[in-house]
Amino acid sequence: MTPNALPGQPHVAYRGDQLFVEDCCLSELAERHGTPLFVYSKAAMLAALAAYQRGFAGRKAQICYAMKANSSLAVLQVFAQAGCGFDIVSGGELQRVLAAGGDPAKVIFSGVGKTRAEMREALAAGIACFNVESEAELEVLSEVAQAAGQKAPVSIRVNPNVDPKTHPYISTGLKGNKFGVAHERTLETYRRAAALPGLRVVGIDCHIGSQITETTPYLDAMDRVLDLVEAIEADGIPIHHIDFGGGLGIAYNGDQPPAADALWAQLLARLDARGFGDRQLMIEPGRSLVGNAGVCLTEVLYLKPGEQKNFCIVDAAMNDLPRPAMYEAFHQIVPLAPQAGTPTTYDVVGPICESGDWIGRERALSVAPGQRLAVLSAGAYCMSMASNYNTRGRAAEVLVDGSQAHLIRSRESAADTFRHEHLI
């Protein structure tokens, strides 16, 4: 970590009057590739992964990157080469894993709405496990597997009704959420799974939400899942692995989530105390591996003073950075080169024709048109959720490795956005 690193961003630091990611000057990258531009630090990703690897040292554990956080091929390649498996939620994500060199035998297929075609594709690829989210899905998966002459390996996702104390849109483990099988129905669901001819029960799964910054929800969920494992195995159905999902938060705005190794020290102590310390474990971190590894560079287009608000209009928008519009999420915004002068309070907004197109509210900035800003903690749920709204091409992406900057996605042209459309 360099002395002038930004809080929560150990690989993003000012050197003199310029902001760097690792050993690459962001102003130079913006000049070369244009804006909006996503820049990711490989070292930051691997450092985040290393915290989990330290936490699981000496344990039987498989880390499966939850690729919905950022599914760019080069990002997947980094984690595949580091030994990670992948948590997928669609057939398209499976194709991305294979294209990036990932091992299908380390793939877990989650999601509430798997189609028959996706099930067939995953069975043919030889994935490790289907995380099944409903009793109806069990029946369909058994039919599909039988037709293929296979037994599908399954883990049932349990909804433990534990409050993760996060945004309601990214809470997944409460009774009112669409995910998983109700805690009270779990034993009956496992009995049905064990009886179906096309299924092979291999594990149990739990995931309670995302951007969790406290330890208590994890401990509560673990206890409820272990209670279920005891009941299921007492009924004669062995559970070979326990999957505790992901959801660990990152520092967006002074958040203080526990470090991954510290969190898992507590969880493993609880696991040991209950006699499950030698069990095969699976986890599925996403945001915590990539969120603080990425920044989005944007150029100031106009400054627009108003009676009630001042607006800093930039060339990045809600199609590039959807989180503020979707969740009222906070991202730090800093200049690439700090400017002199008295800061003015601005709402930082994009060019899209929606009042919801904002990046940051009430930010003190000393800026002028033509200057560039960095939106921090943009490695997760930004590019993977980006769209072409207003026929805006998706941004380019660069992966930094020390002093090397690799273009990993070219900027989309307008022609790219309607390439598959047809005039009548």
Which residues are catalytic, by number? 353
Between CA 258 and CA 293 the distance in angstroms is 17
The H-or-E segment that residue 140 falls in is helix 135-147
Between CA 157 and CA 164 the distance in angstroms is 16
DSSP assignment of 185-229: GHHHHHHHHHH-TTEEEEEEEE--BSSB--SHHHHHHHHHHHHHH
Check if the beta carbon of residue 210 is closer than 8 Å to that of residue 248.
no
Return the axis-axis angle of helices 91-99 and 116-125, rounded to nearest 10°: 30
Between CA 98 and CA 84 the distance in angstroms is 13
Question: Strand 18-21 to strand 9-15: parallel, antiparallel, or no bridges (unpaired)?
Answer: antiparallel
Question: Strand 181-182 to strand 199-206: parallel, antiparallel, or no bridges (unpaired)?
Answer: unpaired
CA–chain centroid gap for 306, Å, is 37
Check if the beta carbon of residue 39 is closer than 8 Å to that of residue 378.
no
Between CA 373 and CA 335 the distance in angstroms is 4
Structure tokens at 5: 């690193």
The one-character DSSP state at 383 is G
Q: Find tokens 């980094």 and name the residue.
A: 78
Between CA 359 and CA 148 the distance in angstroms is 48
Check if the beta carbon of residue 408 is closer than 8 Å to that of residue 74.
yes
- The burial of 239, by beta-carbon neighbours within 10 Å (0-12 exposed, 13-18 middle, 19 or more buried), is given as buried
Check if the beta carbon of residue 238 is closer than 8 Å to that of residue 202.
no
